[in-house]
Structure formats: C-alpha cells, structure tokens
Chains A and B, each alone.
Chain A
Amino acid sequence: MTDIGEASIRPVAIQPVSIQPGPDSVELAELASSWKSAYLHIPFCEAVCPYCDFAVVAGRDDLSDRYLAALEREIEIEAPWNELDSVFLGGGTPSRVGARSIGRLLKALDRRFGIRPGSEVTLEANPEDIDPESADGLASAGVTRVSLGAQSLDASVLRALGRRHTPEKVASAVEAARAAGVESVSLDLIYGTPGESLESWERTLLGALDLEPDHVSAYALTVEPPTALGRAVRQGAAAPDPDDQADKWEKASRLLAAAGLTRYEVSNHSRPGQACAYNLSVWGMGEYLAFGLGAHGFRDGIRTRRVRRIDTYLRRIESGLGAVQASDRIDGRVWEQERLMVGLRRTAGVEAGQLGAELVESEPGRRLIAAGVLELEGNRLKVARPLLTDEVVRAVLDL
C-alpha cells in the first residue's frame, strides 16, 4: 500500500484555519460556514444493523469495484468548484473497501477540485476493520480523522444493537489508528438501548474516555420506522425511553466535559481543535458536494438527493447520467429557516437575524424563553436546554 505515497495528500497538522478557537466557540461556528466540503458515501456493510436507515447494502461486496468506479466517474462529471476544506467518507462502512480504494477516491477529488493542505479527511470505520495494517494504509491514503462506530463498550448492549465487534476490538482499533498517525480519533456511541442501564452507559463512557479519544459523538438510539427495530417496536418490543435517554445525555455531557471534551452540538463533544470540520460546516449552512448512493449535497443554494437503489445508481452513472433524483432550491425564508434549524443545534447557537427576531417576538418564542429553553444573548439565539431543541425548531418552522 505504499505505492500511493506519491499521490498522498497527507496534510500538515493544522485545522483548515490557522486559529484554533474552542469547539463550541462562536468564532469557529461562524468560520465554518464558509468552508467547502465533499461527502462520499460508501454503502457496503457486512450486515445491516437493525436500527440503521441509511442507504446501505449488505452482501453485495461483489459490486464494490463497479461502485467505486462509478463514484470516481461521478466526481469527474461534477462541475468544477472551490477547493475543498474537508472531506467526509461516510456509510455504510467505508472502512470495508480498503485503503487503496479510499486513496483513489481522494486522489480523484484532489484532481477535480483540489483538497486544501491541512484539510480534515474523515473516514467512518467499524472497529473490526481497523488494524495496524489498514490504519497505516488509510493514514497514507490521506485520512486524517477516523470516526469509529464503537456504539457501546458493554457486550450485551452491542449484541442488542446487532453489532458484531467486541469492546476490546474498539480499544485495539483506537490504538492502531493512533500508531498509524491518524491525527484525530472519534468514537461514535449509542445510548438508551432498551435494556441498557444507566450504570452500563456510565461504564461505556468511562471506558471510552480511557481510550483518550479526541472526539465523541453520543447518539440517543432512535427508532426509525423502516428498520428492523422499527418493525419490532411496532410489534410490541420495548422502545427507548425518552426520560432514560435524557438521563444518559446528561450523564454523557457531565463526564465528557470533566474529561476535557466540550459539547459543541447536541450529540457531539470534542477536545479543543478537534471538532469535526465537515459537520461544523453543515451546521453553518456551508455548502458540500455529495457523491454516491443516497448522498445529499448542497451546492449553489440547491440541495440534491441521489438515488438510493444501488442498481439504479450504477446504471445511471455508467450510462453517463447523473444520480441526482431530486433537488430543492433553498433560498429566502426557507434558507433562513434551515439556518436556524441546523445552527440552533450548536452550543454556540446562531445569529438571530430577522427570522430569529420574529421567533423571539412570537407567542411560542416567548413561551420557550419563559421556560428557559431559548435564550437571546445579544444577537445570538441559543438553546439553553439542548434536549428540547426540536421544540424551538418547530416554532421556527411555524414562523
């Protein structure tokens, strides 16, 4: 895997910007809105997790060469754009296709648009895919940040979530990534699985902190209707309890903060300088290209959505067509609504603007302020009780 060395866009160790404000700072939040990013979707998985409703395919690894070729093709036919400040490889299981393929994709992006030196290049990975060799390959290919789907460090919770790795595997994956020189390691955790106790969650958090991650994303288990979990719940299986999840969110915020990881979004915590640039950009209404199955892009004020069936995707790309299935122009009031909708998820909040002022004046806005959910600090709106963010967002959408 060393033959890609000359094509490596291995960056110097800096964030896309020279200053390094705190993950939850207003400066960083505002800065991120000007960053340009690219999202690549790799849909292949060994098996579909029961809670997952992303565009994924299991048991079709035979299609992966065709798919990767199609992705490159899609990159080539995208109209020229700005240089990229961040790249995010999500899935599915991007770690499943191997470092060489990842390197080719990054090269293709770099050829077409250019990837600014020092850019964040995130790869979502399953712990079982990250060993010293693969980690080294990925780092050499230009991956600077690995987001590991650890989910839990409690074996029984992992089983309940349909995950096949062990808690120990998470630790070895972190170690391998570190040893290979991956600059930033993030752990994805899921809380509130029925059957998971508060103590189990606490052990998961403490266990995760022992691995000294740069970043933790802690997600409440969400029942999406078109999933195996959704069907089970409809048939009477236990559903996650929102109060239990609220307890666990609070527990996570406390423990992670105490360990130096600042919550900068509803579910995201980071050490200084380690916030996810790609996501920060999205929450700041920054624009991003998208490639791959079911991928969503936001370019030139237009949100696009690509087809979700892999055979359709391949057919369309291979016959020279684009994969975009639907697109929406986002402008005026809708753009403002979305700006508040995503911006309010950040700890840094969002600049109120005209719509924010309307919110504050509205009846629901007043009630949210009275209930201590919403705050106006100068010209910034913040959700003071992040667990109730959607109350605020619905009020915004109602303006």
Chain B
Amino acid sequence: MPVRERWKSSRAAVPGTIPDVPRPFRIALTPPSRIRNFSIIAHIDHGKSTLADRLLERTGAITEREMREQMLDTMDIERERGITIKANNVRLTYQSPDGEEYVLNLIDTPGHVDFSYEVSRSLAACEGALLLADAAQGVQAQTLANAYMAIEAGLEVLPALNKIDLPAAEPERVAQEIVGILGGDPADVLQLSAKTGQGVDELFGRLVRDVPPPQGDPDAPLRALVFDSYFDAYRGVVCYVRIKDGRMSAGERLRFMATGEEHNANEVGYLTPRAVPVSVMGPGEVGYLITGVKEIDRIKVGDTVTSAANPAKTALPGYSEPKPMVFSGLFPTDGDDFERLREALDKLRLNDASLQYEPESSRALGFGFRCGFLGLLHMEIVRERLEREYNLDLVATSPSVAYRVAHPDGRVVEIHSPQDLPAPGDLASVEEPYMRVMIIAPSEYIGSIMELVTNARGEMVNMTYLSPERVELTYQMPLAEVVFGFFDNLKSRTRGYASLDYEISGYRQSDLVKVDILLNAVPVDAFSAIVHRDKAYEYGKKLVEKLQELIPRQLFDVPIQAAIGSRIIARETVRAKRKDVLAKCYGGDITRKKKLLEKQKEGKKRMKMVGSVEVPPEAFVAALRVDD
C-alpha cells in the first residue's frame, strides 16, 4: 500500500521523493537514554491523525503553515474510509521542561485487522504505545486487539482519552472501562483533546517518564528491524528501520537475513518529517534506509538487516511472510482490457508486496486474475483503486479463502478457488482457516450476536464484561464465514455499536462441499462456492433466489439451479421476457424513442454474456449478500 507522503518534506523537489541533500552530517549518536519510541493505537476516527499532527506542531517538526489538515492520511481512499493503511514514522525533538532534549520517534500503525502483521512489526519497533480511546465511544475491539498485541510484545501501554472537549464525552466511564481491561488507576488515564491541544504537554511528560528507553548493545553486530517499506518512483524501495543492536552506516554493505540478499546502504537517515540523511544510526534509533532495490517484494517487512562484513548470528524474532487470506477473481468486463488489468496490478504491487495475483481463466468471465488479499478491506481497496485510478471496469467473483485439500494418496494441496476443489472421490479431507474473533458490543446485543455467530458456525471461547454495559465476546469461527458478510450483519444487528477484530488461529477439518450454479443447465464456474455441508442447501436456495432477482428476463426461460455434484438442491426460473416494445412510435416520437432505446442499450452493455445468458456484474458477488 503506497501511503507515503505523510511527512514529506515541503522542500522536496518531487512529491514523495527524498531529496538529495549534501551530507555533512553528525557523527555523534543520540544516546538511547534520550530516545523514546512509541506508537499510537486507536480506533478509526478516534483522533490518532489529529493527535499526531498536534505532536508535530508542538515540537516544531512542522509549522502550522506547512501542515495540511491531518497529514497522516493522504491517500484518497484512506481519507474516505478514515483509515491509515500502513505504518510510517517521524522523529520529534522534544525539549523537556527540565532542560533535557529527547528524541521521540512516533511510529504510525495501520488501523485495520487486515494489516495486523504490519501492526505487530511496527509495535516491535517501539517500547511504548499510547492507547487512545474516544471519550464518548469507549474502547473498540480493534484497539483492544492491538493493545493486547502491544502488551504481549512487552510495550508500556499509556492509556489516554481523546475528544474530552466533546459534550458527549464520558471520561469517567471510559477511563473505568480502560482500567477494567488493562488494570491501573483511572487517575493515570491521560485526558486529551487533540483538537484543542488540551493535555498534550502532559502527554509529552508521560512519554518521557513512562516509556522505557531502548535497550541495545552498540558494540554488537548490527541488527535492525525492517518494520515497513514503500516504493518511491525515484529512489526505489525505501525501508523503515529500527536499530536494535550495533550501528548502521551509510555506504555499508548490508545483509537482509530472511531473504539472504545483500545490498549497499546508499543512504540512511531519519524523517523530521523532512528526510535528513545521516552517516550512521545507533541503537534505539528509527529512520529510513535506501539500498537501490527497485522491487518491493525483495524487501520483506519484518526482516532483520545486519552487516555483511560482521553479521549477527540470529535474526530478530517475529518475521513471517505476509500471507493472503482472501481470494477473489478479478475479470475485466471488456475482455480487451486484460492487458491493462495486468499492468495496473503490476503497478499496484510496486507498493504492495502483500498483493498476489496469477492469471485465471473462467469459462464464464474469460481471462482475468486470481488475486490474494490480506483481508476483505484490502480486497476492496485494491478493487477500488483498479477501477478508480486505472479506470477499469471489473467483475469480481465472490471471495474465497485458502483451503487445504488432502488427496487420498496423502498429498495436501492449498486451493484458492472453488473450481480447484477435487471431486468427492479424489478427496480425503478439507481443512479451512479458523479465526479467533473478538467482538466488543453493548451487552444488550449479546443474544443477537450469539445467534449470528452460531449461524456462522462460530464457537464461543470467552465472554468478559468490560463494564456492566459492555461485553467482550471471543469466538472461534471459520474465516469463510467472516468473509461472507459477517461484519455487515454484525453491524446491522447491533446498530453499528459492535466492533470486531480477528486473527488467524489455525486450520480445522470441516465437512465442506462445493455448491455449483447452473444457468440454463450450464455450470458457471464463477458462481461456485465452497460451503459447509449443513449450510449448503440453504446457501444454494438463497443464492438461486438472489440470482433470480438479479438476472433480467431474457428471450427464453433461464433455469437457475444449485447443485452439489450432480444433485440439484435448488431451482428457480427467470421467465422469458414477453413484452419489450414501445406502445407508440410516430412522427413526433422517433428522435426521443431512439434516445430511450440507445440508453437501454447502454444499460445492456454492462451485462456479461455467460453462455447465452446476459448476467449483470453484481450477480457475481451475489453470494456475499445472500442474507440481505
């Protein structure tokens, strides 16, 4: 995800690039005792970006004139969705009232569960985290999940309430709720208004006092954590790094321990938010590294950078490959756009190593790509960017998850598409990914949430009252169920009051079957789905009903059938259209009637020909909405 201009220098010649500045730089390193590394954990709209802006302003990192409203979230889609997709960092210089100068490195974290691995890597670059909750809305599931992640990572968590200036703020209640979760004293919960700046001075004091200074051996071999990266059109891949041990010098030969690749440190430095190149960085410091590598997937987030000449023996813990969890076929509505789609995906991937895709062909939809995403939001963002920025008209098939299929001979294969599920005879067992799902909601909705979760094959793990009014529910649930509209259903059942977080918890064997859809007696691969056997009949029935609504009447009857193997489990018919003619077309009507027919014709162009049946694009994601 490219989100990279957040703290871009106002002097940068080209937006998004790090300027080449002469480099007379310092040699002296900042002593770790003067460094505090922290991130802010907050729910969407709880004011993280505004607070970050305030911190930049107070430390003089950026003047008000330079500041655009909320510098944090620059990309359009991010702004619209109110989320921050990927991490970034800024080095703030703070003059403490006692006269000391401190370096505060603020490391931003993505705000969505889809990017939880990246959150974990950002947190691993910090010693402290500010848990920011809206004083009116209280703690949300995502925030809590990230706070737990911070605690598990050994970070000092500073709880804080934001928006205390709002009339609806209930600081006592929310402080009590936080203390109920994290322990401690309500009096220690910081009270802030990022908007007015109230409480910000106290926050600085608490960061210096409570966040532990980084530890690290300056004389040990270099170990630096790559906690984020992005692609710059002029400089290539820019890595964000946190030095754990040793030193990283400009010009040095570096080794990336997970990939085994070696590259030169062409430039190292930190962001103030202007990029300031330095000759060397030491333990506890946070900054950027440019090696000249052009392909983003050659730099892995979570990797450990060491010195090629004097390598560390062990890498830093916690590295893993970003693994797509949700898969969907993307097909151009116009088959001629296939190459344009490929180019667009290639471009998106320059900045998004987690996006995976391979060509796929569908009898129904022609040539396209099977794409893997970190989660549903990631999928939607990619699709929107393809349509908006690359002007592509796409048909997306219903999302699927990665199943592990065991063949009778013991061979295990991972499949990403229902079409790849072998026939029952060639199948020993199927495993599907399970999630640990955490929901926080007002306690009055417990009954309705339980019903929803049970319906989605969820099993309760835990229920904890955060306060008499709010409850945290933990479930084990198949990812496939989460993917199929669970979040929307949860929101509507709880009138938007529930929040949700999930993490992969492993694979489990399930009794899964493939439900196929036949249009006019011909199976349409793009409509196939893998469903639990107990739910297959209901799923087939609902999908067939939904398709009957969505598929317009044609020149002939179109039977729509759902089938498991050769057994038909549901059937509806789109009756042949009987009347499609204007009642009148006289001398006065010809021009107007022609325009009307032209307009109808354009409407028809959206349709995808599947065999002899015209299918509107929205039908291909109908499975997502069978519960509507």
**Closest B-chain residue to A296, C-beta based?**
B588
**Closest A-chain residue to B587, C-beta based?**
A282
Distance, CA A48 to CA B474, complexed state (A): 65
Distance, CA A328 to CA B600, complexed state (A): 21
B581, A390: Cβ atoms closer than 8 Å: yes
Distance, CA A4 to CA B262, complexed state (A): 107
**Closest B-chain residue to A337, C-beta based?**
B594
Interface code A366-385, partner B: CB below 8 Å = 1, 0 otherwise? 01100101000000000000
Dominant SS among interface residues on chain B? loop
Q: Which residues of B contact A338 (CB under 8 A)?
A: 590, 594
**Closest A-chain residue to B604, C-beta based?**
A394
**Closest B-chain residue to A53, C-beta based?**
B592
Interface: A245 (CB within 8 A): yes
A279, B586: Cβ atoms closer than 8 Å: yes
The residues of A with any CB-CB pair to B shorter than 8 Å are: 37, 39, 41, 54, 88, 90, 219-222, 242-243, 245-246, 249, 266-267, 278-279, 282, 288, 290, 294-298, 303, 305, 328, 337-338, 341-342, 345, 367-368, 371, 373, 386-391, 393-394, 397-398
Interface: B591 (CB within 8 A): yes
A371, B556: Cβ atoms closer than 8 Å: yes
Q: Which residues of A contact B187 (CB under 8 A)?
A: none
Distance, CA A268 to CA B486, complexed state (A): 55
Distance, CA A287 to CA B597, complexed state (A): 22
Interface: B23 (CB within 8 A): no
Q: Which of B579, B584, B593 contacts A245 (CB 8 A)?
A: B579
Q: Say how far A143's CB is from chain B's closest CB, in angstroms.
A: 19
A345, B578: Cβ atoms closer than 8 Å: no
B587, A39: Cβ atoms closer than 8 Å: yes
Q: A341-B590, A391-B577 are in contact. List 8 more A-B contacts (CB 8 A).
A: A39-B587, A54-B588, A242-B578, A249-B579, A282-B586, A290-B588, A341-B594, A387-B578
Interface: B411 (CB within 8 A): no
Distance, CA A295 to CA B577, complexed state (A): 34
22 A-B pairs, CB-CB below 8 angstroms? Answer: A39-B588, A219-B584, A221-B583, A222-B584, A243-B579, A246-B578, A266-B585, A279-B586, A294-B588, A295-B588, A296-B590, A298-B587, A303-B590, A341-B585, A342-B585, A367-B555, A371-B556, A388-B577, A388-B579, A390-B597, A391-B577, A391-B580
The residues of B with any CB-CB pair to A shorter than 8 Å are: 555-556, 577-591, 593-594, 597-598, 600-601, 604, 612
Distance, CA A283 to CA B91, complexed state (A): 78
Q: Which of B579, B587, B600 contacts A290 (CB 8 A)?
A: B587
**Closest B-chain residue to A298, C-beta based?**
B587
Most interface-central of A54, A288, A389 (chain B CB within 10 A): A389
B587, A296: Cβ atoms closer than 8 Å: yes
Q: Which of A219, A298, A337, A342 contacts B583 (CB 8 A)?
A: A219
Distance, CA A371 to CA B614, complexed state (A): 14
Q: Say how far A317's CB is from chain B's closest CB, in angstroms.
A: 18
Q: Which residues of A contact B578 (CB under 8 A)?
A: 242-243, 246, 387-388
**Closest B-chain residue to A341, C-beta based?**
B594
B601, A398: Cβ atoms closer than 8 Å: yes
B555, A391: Cβ atoms closer than 8 Å: yes
**Closest A-chain residue to B554, C-beta based?**
A371
B587, A222: Cβ atoms closer than 8 Å: no
Distance, CA A297 to CA B591, complexed state (A): 11
B597, A345: Cβ atoms closer than 8 Å: no
Q: Say how far B614's CB is from chain A's closest CB, in angstroms.
A: 10
B583, A303: Cβ atoms closer than 8 Å: no
B600, A288: Cβ atoms closer than 8 Å: no
Q: Which of B589, B591, B593 contacts A328 (CB 8 A)?
A: B591
Q: Say how far B611's CB is from chain A's closest CB, in angstroms.
A: 11
Most interface-central of B580, B597, B604 (chain A CB within 10 A): B580
Distance, CA A278 to CA B587, complexed state (A): 9
**Closest A-chain residue to B600, C-beta based?**
A394
Q: Which of A39, A41, A373 contacts B555 (CB 8 A)?
A: A373
Q: Which residues of A contact B555 (CB under 8 A)?
A: 367-368, 371, 373, 388, 391
A394, B587: Cβ atoms closer than 8 Å: no
Q: Which residues of B contact A398 (CB under 8 A)?
A: 601
**Closest A-chain residue to B553, C-beta based?**
A242
Q: Say how far A359's CB is from chain B's closest CB, in angstroms.
A: 14
Q: Say how far A396's CB is from chain B's closest CB, in angstroms.
A: 9
Q: Say how far A150's CB is from chain B's closest CB, in angstroms.
A: 16
Q: Say how far A295's CB is from chain B's closest CB, in angstroms.
A: 7
